[in-house]
Structure 1
Amino acid sequence: MRLKDKVILVTAAGQGIGRASALALAAEGAKVIATDLNGDLLQGLDGISTEVLDVTDAQAINAIAAKVGPLDGLFNCAGVVHNGTLLDIDDKDWDFAFSLNVTAMMRLCRAVMPGMLERASQTGTASILNMSSMASSIKGFANRTAYGASKAAVLGLTKAIAADYVKQGIRCNALCPGTVDTPSLRGRIAASADPVQAEKDFIARQPMGRLATVADIAPMVVYLLSDESRFVSGQAMLVDGGVTI
Structure 2
Amino acid sequence: MTARFEGRVAIVTGGASGIGAAIADCLAAEGARVAVLDREDPANQHHWEACDVASSEQVERAVAAVASALGRIDIVVNNAGIGAQGDVAGNPDEEWARAWEVNVAGMARVSRAALPHLRESDAAAIVNMASIAATAGIQQRALYSATKGAVLALTRAMAADHLQQGIRVNCVSPGTADTPWIGRLLAQAPDPEAERAALEARQPHGRLVAAAEVAQAVAYLADPANRSTVGVCLPVDGGMDALRLRPR
Matches within 5 A, 1:130-209: 130-135=128-133, 137-209=134-206
How much has 1:241 moved relative to structure 2?
A: 0.3
Q: Which residue of 1 aligns with 2:77?
A: 75
- Matched residues in 1 for 2:151 and 2:166: separation? 21
- Aligned-pair distance for 1:171? 0.5
**Structure 2 length-normalised TM:** 0.92
- In the other structure, the counterpart of 1:51 is 49
TM-score (norm 1): 0.93
In the aligned structure 2, how far is the partner of 1:228 from the partner of 1:238? Answer: 20
One-letter amino acid of the structure 2 residue matched with residue 34 of structure 1: V
The separation in 2 between residues aligned to 1:64 and 1:100, in whole angstroms, is 16
Aligned residues: 236
Amino acid at match of 2:90: D
CA shift at 1:169, angstroms?
0.7
Q: Deviations over 1:104-128 (max 9, x none)?
A: 1111111111111122xxx2x3000
- Cα-to-partner distance string for 1:29-54 (whole Å, 9 max, x where unaligned): 00111222112xx11x23x2122211
Shift of 1:94: 1.1
Q: What is the letter of the counterpart of residue 50 of structure 1?
A: W
Number of the residue aligned with 1:38: 40
- Cα distance in 2 between the residues matched to 1:216 and 1:118: 30
Q: Which amino acid aligns with 1:81?
A: G
- 1:9 match: secondary structure: strand
* Cα distance, 1:130 vs structure 2: 0.6
What one-letter code is carried by the residue in structure 2 that aligns with 1:36?
D
- Aligned-partner SS, 2:83: coil
User: 1:212 Cα deviation (Å)?
Assistant: 1.1
In structure 1, the gaps of 5 or more residues are: none
TM-fit CA distance, 1:155: 0.9
Residue in 1 aligned with 2:5? Answer: 3
Amino acid paired to 1:131: M
Give SS of 1:118's match. Answer: coil
- Give RMSD over aligned pairs: 1.1
SS in 1 for 2:147: helix
Deviation at 1:229, TM superposition (A): 2.0
Which residue identity is paired with 1:207? Answer: P
